[in-house]
Chain A
C-alpha cells in the first residue's frame, strides 16, 4: 500500500478547537475540572467550557503571570486545573510562575498554549511561539505534549487531565490534516510509528507530522523508503522508539515548527548519541523570526511543507551514502 493510499490527510479541525471540546467533555464528567484564561477564550476555545460551566471558569484578564499562579493555587487545592493562553504569552509571561509555583513544588497544573509555531500566520512573530517546547521542557518534572491533529489533541488533553504532574500541551491555530483515525489510542510518553521505513526515519511533532508523511510520499516515488514517527510527547521522550529508528534506518530527519536550536531535534539527537549514533538532519526554524502572511504563505516561505522536508531528507541520505 502506497503512502498516499495509506494516508488521505483530509483536513480536520484545529488542535485548539479539539482542546476546547475536550475541556467540555472533561467538565461534564467531573465537577472538579476548572479552567482559567487570560482574555483569549474565544481564540483558545476555552469559551466552550466557560459557556457550559461559568462557575468553574476564571477569567483572569490580560495578566498571564497572575493566571498561572491562580491556576497553581486551584491545582494545589485539589482541582483539575487548566490554564490557557497563546503559547507565546502563557510561557513567556508566566514562566517564572510556572517554575516556582508549578514545576518546583510539582503542582499538577495543566498548561495549554495555543497559536504555537509560525502557522498562526497574519498576527506575526510577536504571537508566534517558536521556543515553547524548549521553555516547557526546561521545567523539571514537566510533561510536554505536542499533538499532531484533532484526534490526538482530544485524546491527549483528556489523558493529561488526570496525569499526576504538571503538563504543557502545545496547540495550533489553523485546521490541520487528520493523521489519525478515530480509534487510535494514545499513551503519554509513547511515540507512534505511522510509517515503517528502510532508508530513513522522519521524527516529528505537531503539524509537521503530516508534512513528513507528505515527504515520505514524495520520496516513495523516487524509490526511497521513509518511516515517520510522531513524538506527541516531547518530554519524557520515547527513547526506545528513537533508538530503534536510528538502528534500523541509520538516518534520521527531525522536522518541527520550532527553533531547531532548542526543540525536538536536539532531544532526539541526545538519544541517538547515547544509543545508536547515525546521520541526522534538522528541519525547522533557524536563528530568525518569521513574518506576517497567510498561514500557507508563511509555512511555504519558511519551508515547512512536505516538499521542503523531502529536500532535507535527500541531503541526509547523501551523507548516509
Chain B
C-alpha cells in the first residue's frame, strides 16, 4: 500500500471505499450503511496517513492498533483493509455469507489482521486500554485508536474506561466518537441525549478535540495534535453525517441498518461517482 497525506489522493480512496460499502451491503441484502459511510474519512485518514502499520507484516509488534468498537460498521473497516492490501477486494461482496472472511461483525478468527472481534457495543475502549498498557510496559511506540459509535457511549463500560484512561494518563490511546447523531431507533437526542458531550469527556479528564469528521485536513491536524498531547488520553469528537455521500441515506435513521435495493444502489453509486 502507498501511504499518503495528499488530500486529493485521500479523497479518491474515500470515494472507492464508499463504493465498496454500498455495493457489498446491497449484495448482502443486509448490513449497516449509515454508520459505515459516516466513518469513511476517519478510517481512511488512519489507515492511509496516520497509523504505523504494514499489511505485509500484520503481526509487527510495534504496529499501531485500530479497534472498531462500533463493530456494526464492519463494511467501512473491510473496505479499508482491502484497499490497504490486507484482504482481497474481489470478495468484498461475499459480506455476511457463510464461510466469508467478511463476517457480519469483525471476527479475528476469519481475519487475523483484525485487532479485535467486535459487535457487542461498549467493550472496545477498555480492550484498547489493555493494548495501550502493554505498549507502555514494553516502551513501544505503538498507539491505539478506538472508533466508538455515539449511541455506543450510552454503555456504562465506556465511562469505566474513560475514568481508567484519564487516571492512568494513557496518552498513547485515542478514542474517536463517530458523532453522526443517529442510532438504531432514531435520533440520539430522542433516545438518550449525550449532550453536553465534549464537556463530559473533558470532565472525565480527556484531552477533547471536536473535529469535522469528513474534513481530511481537520482530521490530520486533530490526530497530530492528539499525538503531541502528553499526560492525558485524547478523544476526537468527530461531527459526522450518517449515510454521508448518498443523499437519500444522509441523516436518515432508516439507513442505520437497512441495505439499499438494486435501484438504490445504482443511484448511490451515481452520486458517489467513479
A interface residues with partner B (beta carbon < 8 Å): 34, 55-56, 58, 60-61, 63, 65-66, 68-79, 81, 96-97, 99-101, 104-106
Contact = CB atoms under 8 A, between A and B. Distances in A.
A76 B115 contact: yes
Interface in B126-144: 126-135, 137-138
A76 B117 CA distance: 11
B226 to A, nearest CB: 19
A74 B126 contact: no
B227 interface: no
A73 B123 contact: no
A69 B126 contact: yes
Given A58-B133, A101-B117, 15 more contacts: A63-B157, A65-B123, A66-B129, A66-B160, A70-B129, A70-B133, A73-B131, A73-B132, A74-B133, A75-B130, A76-B115, A76-B127, A97-B123, A100-B118, A100-B119
Contact of A69 (B109, B138, B156, B157): B157
A74 B130 contact: yes
A60 B109 CA distance: 29
Given A65-B157, A66-B157, A69-B126, A60 B164 contact: yes
A70 B61 contact: no
A73 B164 contact: no
Contacts of B167: 61
A66 B164 contact: yes
A105 B157 contact: no
Given A60-B164, A63-B164, A97 B126 contact: yes
Contact of A70 (B119, B135, B138, B164): B164
Given A73-B131, A96-B123, A100-B123, A55 B137 contact: yes
* 8 nearest A-B residue pairs (beta carbon): A73-B130, A69-B126, A77-B134, A66-B160, A63-B160, A70-B130, A73-B131, A105-B117
Nearest to B124: A69
A61 B127 CA distance: 16
Given A63-B160, A76-B115, A69 B131 contact: no
Contacts of B61: 78
A69 B120 contact: no
A104 B117 contact: yes
Interface in B101-115: 107-109, 115
Contacts of B164: 60-61, 63, 66, 70
14 contacts: A58-B133, A61-B164, A63-B164, A66-B161, A69-B157, A70-B127, A70-B164, A71-B130, A72-B127, A72-B130, A73-B134, A74-B131, A96-B123, A100-B119
Nearest to A55: B137
Nearest to A70: B130
Contacts of B168: 58
Given A73-B129, A101-B116, A105-B117, A63 B163 contact: yes
Nearest to A63: B160
Given A60-B164, A101-B116, A69 B123 contact: yes
Contacts of A77: 130-131, 134-135, 138
Contacts of B131: 73-74, 76-77
Nearest to A81: B130
Contact of A73 (B117, B127, B157, B163): B127
A34 B135 CA distance: 13
B9 to A, nearest CB: 32
B120 A100 contact: yes
Contacts of A71: 130
Contact of A100 (B117, B134, B138, B156): B117
Interface in B152-182: 156-157, 160-161, 163-164, 167-168
Nearest to B132: A73
Contacts of B128: 73
B171 to A, nearest CB: 16
A73 B160 contact: no
Contacts of A66: 126, 129, 157, 160-161, 164
B164 to A, nearest CB: 6
B72 to A, nearest CB: 13
A249 to B, nearest CB: 42
Contacts of B135: 77
A76 B133 CA distance: 11
B130 A105 contact: no
Contact of B137 (A56, A75, A76, A99): A56
